[in-house]
Amino acid sequence: MKSTSKSSSQEHNLAQTGDTRVSAKISRETISTLSVAILCLVLLFSARLINPALGSWSQIETVLVLGFFLVVLSFGQGLVILTGGLDLSLPATITLGGILATNWIGAGNPDEWYLLPAVLAVCGLVGLASAIGVIWLRVPPFIMTMATSIIVASALLGYTRGTPRGTAPDMAVALMKGDILGVPAPIVVLIIFVIVGWLFQSRSVYGRYLYAIGTNIEAARNAAVPVTAMRILPYVLSAICAGFVGIALVGYSSGATLRMGDDYLLPSIASVVIGGSLILGGRGTFLGSVGGALLLTILGTIIATLGLEFGFRTIIEGSIILIALLLLREELFQKLRSLKS
């Protein structure tokens, strides 16, 4: 009796929220994505006031190349967060991708390109290990991914004996330094990646499954969503993205180091949250995360040119991120909407 009433009330709730959700969610997420994009553009062009060299095509090019890494990472991190998890193993997995690419392939071996997918597969296994811990061993994602991170980082320290050797594979260098029809290759790849990522998350059935799991896992199970497989997928994809970033970083700076991934963990989470995702899962778009990642990168390039003391620079950076988050809060949009209606 008790259980039936509970489930019926749950169904009732679902029906109720489900009803408003379709209209509310789409507009809310579109608005927050647009706001981030507008904020990016405003920052980019107001930067001209600070320094006339800013806001030029070459600055946009720098932003897109530097933002490449963060955008790719925020796709994986965004998927994990969407299903209610968190991936702290990004730094170690980035380093894994970079070190395997330099050690297994290296420069001057273009015929060994097939090893690149192998590197990504190894990184995917790291994600699988995290997923197994989270799903079957029921370790909280925060702890599980931290553990994988420590294990992978320590294994790499042992494997390289502290000094990663090897050089960047030609493919990786071409990816970051090459040109495609006169446009820098990383920008072309970035655009393709964003389109594919957006199609996957917002237009494919798999993306829908992930939203369903993040919103209510029991409801998703009842709706015949392959819950287990779809909870594993984000961790594996996130690890593969991290491995890809590792390879790209090696191409960008011609070598691997053991700390190459360290600077990306918090920005990857921040990009996702600034992009309008709910840190507890169930809501958010990849395009929003892309905007968040680019916003952080633009902010970094502008603040670097202010010529202020380092302390002030980081205070300004933190303040702008905070203001952006407050402005993008959903309550604000709800208020705006209610004003309109």
Partner 1 sequence: MRKKIIKSTAAVLALSAIAAGIPGLASAQDGKKFKVFLSLSYSGNAWQSEAANIVKALAQTAPYDEMVELREVISGTDPQAQISAYESMIDEGADAIISFPISSTALNRTIKRGCDEGVLFFMYDATVTESCAYNVSYLSSGFGENSAQALVNALEGNGKIFLSRGVPGNSVDQRHTDGALHIFNQYPGIEVVAEYYSYWDDRTTQQETAKALTANPDVDGIWAQAGEYGAIQALLDAGDRLVPMTGENSAGFRLALADPDMQAKGLTGVSAGSPPAQSGYAFKLAMEILTGQRELEPMNIEYPLPWVPADAVKVCEGDVYEDGCNVFPPEMVPSSFVSEVLNTDLLPEVNVESALNGTPVPGATIQPLPAEVTEAANLPGINCGSCEAPENLYELTKVEATVQP
**Site for partner 1, rule CB under 8 A:** 51, 53-54, 56, 58-59, 62, 65-66, 102, 153, 157, 161-167, 177, 249, 252-260, 263, 300-301, 304-305, 307, 310-311
Q: Which of 89/285 has CB closer to partner 1?
A: 89
User: Please, which residues have CB within 8 angstroms of residue 85's CB and are 6 or more apart in sequence?
Assistant: 134, 141, 145, 231, 234, 235, 281
Q: Which residues pair with 184 in a beta bridge?
A: 179
| Tokens describing residue 55 | 């806001």
d(CA 340, CA 334): 10
Q: Which of 166/214 has CB closer to partner 1?
A: 166
The length of the chain, given as a count of residues: 341
Q: Which residues pair with 180 in a beta bridge?
A: 183
Minimal distance in Å, beta carbon 187 to partner 1?
Answer: 13
Distances (CA, A) of 233 to 93, 146, 254, 324: 16, 18, 31, 30
Q: Which of 66/225 has CB closer to partner 1?
A: 66
Q: Which of 9/305 has CB closer to partner 1?
A: 305
Identify how many contiguous H helices and E strands the chain contains and give both numbers: 14, 2
| Tokens describing residue 43 | 């920052």
Q: Which of 220/293 has CB closer to partner 1?
A: 293
User: Please, which residues have CB within 8 angstroms of residue 72's CB and are 6 or more apart in sequence?
Assistant: 190, 193, 241, 244, 245, 248
